[in-house]
Structure 1
């Protein structure tokens, strides 16, 4: 009868346990692969009531453009006056103002997923801008509402009443700030920013700012920036700064007025926007001072700067040039040094008004 050597057996078990423990303790660190851009979509507004909005796609790998990629892929026009475009999750949202639709597409293929009608009975709500928070999209419309859209079902859950003719929006400190322009009531603009609680989805207050606010942005220091156009006669255009903790106005300045409809884009400690003199103003959000009157350093001439965007991956500032608002415009890109990036400008459609960057 064979006898077991318990000493050897115990040694073997101990060794296996030790090896197993080593395997369990070995932590494989995830590899952080930075996102890489595939290209940029340019939303061209076209002309109001001409039904000629287009979507241009510029492919970074081939350095080539498709001038009307939405129509090419879907066999139908995008609509009348495309106003805003954003990518959120796996979907791209295109706000088409005069057509009163939200076009939801696959950003990789530009294939339409759903066209959402923005009507109140038979009346057009005229959507303007879109922002996102968690599983909700918020859409401002000229009828004085902000729609709440579920990004999974693509169903509108409710409408929040705000001020007259709301324009751009920004989320800061778990609140949605909405610029109420009143711009369609010429000579009698609105002069408020609605504050919406994102937990209750209700308007909690209105903050008074310079008349006819259209553009709005925020920084990481608790400031909300509002660009207003004034009433084009007795009330000057200007910038209002709101404290996002108290919603109190901390600064109102006509010297910091911006160009009409320019987005306020954020890059670390800086915000950029088109100034009243058509330069790209650089404002230091930490020191609360203008750092540069114009980001562009190489004297690149831009005829009619219409809007801007910032690519935080490639660290490039994009400027949309509407030219004469009747023929094709151009898209410019500038590096960190303020100099034009090689290969730009590229040709766009009529009145390029918004861009969005898509990753590989």
Structure 2
């Protein structure tokens, strides 16, 4: 038990140090600025009826610093614009808020989950103009299905080991009102929908070593939990592939239990495979899952960082590299990953030291070499694409 008390104390000291070292003026949202990406990243795709207009990048920002921000990249002009939220919404004095945790597009709206500010910001996807704020305490991730948005939420105060079980909140995407919620495990994280079921990764991260270890299964027709699948401790990422399988990550306990990746067959709702690799984040594109791992150990006090590719059709780990030119040596803390749905280029974000502006890298889909990079806001997190 003593090692977990040390862990809690270490986290408090780290957070206090970050807050102390930041100037009070950082509490004011920063202004927009722009630059042209040196190399034009837009490729032409023959016979494609789908065109991309650009992408949004959500910068998480430092906790208690009110520095969450939104960037936008225009594929046609090559113009990368930082901190666009303030320009689109000058009447919102405090900007986007505190800790941008997740973001997604559904229809004509952009949904931004702002964790510590306890809200989901709904914006016009074309202009970035605020449409509405939906209040959800300690909200984490968002997904969509048949006209509804689903938001996972920890509830309770941040870091409180006595926090209640978390919930999934159902929101009507037409009225933008909460219509229902269901209780799941403690500190629920990412979600995925397969058929008419929603799967939720529970972490229990506020109360080590008593972590949660289940994926909750919600029947979307009744909106009730119908099953809990036992997986491993401290679950986080959860992605669905095209074959009806779920890829679920376990962060371990940062001491003796290492991170692992599990595959769940949603037909039987059982674990069908385990990979003895750490995965901090992954993106699935067709038959491949691209991942990175930033695994911290409180025993060594260091991060171990690596990258890899899974063949999800055959469910095997490959020796393929999606960064081949040594650029990974310049990435301090990989923090976000995405695949361009048209060109198939790979994007990786670097959070650096968590208090300085980050970097977004674009890697060529064939060669794995860096095509371009650009400075972002603090702790660049989630990237979503905008279609014409």
TM-score range, shorter chain: 0.7 to 0.9
Map 1:45-64; keep pairs closer than 5 Å. Answer: 45-64=60-79
Instruction: Name the residue aligned to 1:92.
Output: 110
1:357 aligns with 2:385: yes
Contact 1:242–1:251 (Cα < 8 Å) also in 2: yes
**TM-score after normalising by structure 1:** 0.85
Instruction: Name the residue aligned to 2:338.
Output: 309
Cα offsets for 1:141-182 (capped at 9, x unmatched): 012000001111101111111000001111123311100011
Distance in 1, Cα, partners of 2:315 & 2:153? 32
1:138 aligns with 2:160: no
- 3-state secondary structure, aligned to 1:153: coil
- 3-state secondary structure, aligned to 1:256: coil
Map 1:191-270; keep pairs closer than 5 Å. Answer: 191-253=213-275, 255-259=276-280, 262=281, 264-270=282-288
- 3-state secondary structure, aligned to 1:357: strand
Number of equivalenced pairs: 318
Instruction: Name the residue aligned to 2:89.
Output: 74
Distance in 2, Cα, partners of 1:283 & 1:88? 28
Contact 1:297–1:337 (Cα < 8 Å) also in 2: no
- Measured after TM superposition, the shift of residue 280 of structure 1 is 3.0
Instruction: Name the residue aligned to 2:53.
Output: 38
2:128 to 110, 118, 136: 110
- Measured after TM superposition, the shift of residue 256 of structure 1 is 2.0
- 3-state secondary structure, aligned to 2:70: strand
Instruction: Name the residue aligned to 1:121.
Output: none
- Measured after TM superposition, the shift of residue 134 of structure 1 is 0.8
- Measured after TM superposition, the shift of residue 341 of structure 1 is 4.9
Cα offsets for 1:219-267 (capped at 9, x unmatched): 12221111011112232211111110010111233x22213xx2x3111
Contact 1:280–1:293 (Cα < 8 Å) also in 2: no
Contact 1:80–1:96 (Cα < 8 Å) also in 2: yes
Contact 1:87–1:93 (Cα < 8 Å) also in 2: yes
- 3-state secondary structure, aligned to 1:71: helix
Contact 2:265–2:272 (Cα < 8 Å) also in 1: yes
1:126 aligns with 2:153: no
Contact 2:234–2:252 (Cα < 8 Å) also in 1: yes
Larger radius of gyration between Structure 1 and Structure 2:
1
- Measured after TM superposition, the shift of residue 107 of structure 1 is 1.0
1:163 to 172, 178, 185: 185
Contact 2:201–2:237 (Cα < 8 Å) also in 1: yes
Stretch deviating more after TM superposition (310-319 or 174-183): 310-319
Contact 1:279–1:295 (Cα < 8 Å) also in 2: no
1:174 aligns with 2:196: yes
**Runs of 4+ residues over 3 Å off in structure 1:** none
CA RMSD, Structure 1 to Structure 2 (Å)? 1.5
- Measured after TM superposition, the shift of residue 303 of structure 1 is 1.8
- 3-state secondary structure, aligned to 1:137: strand
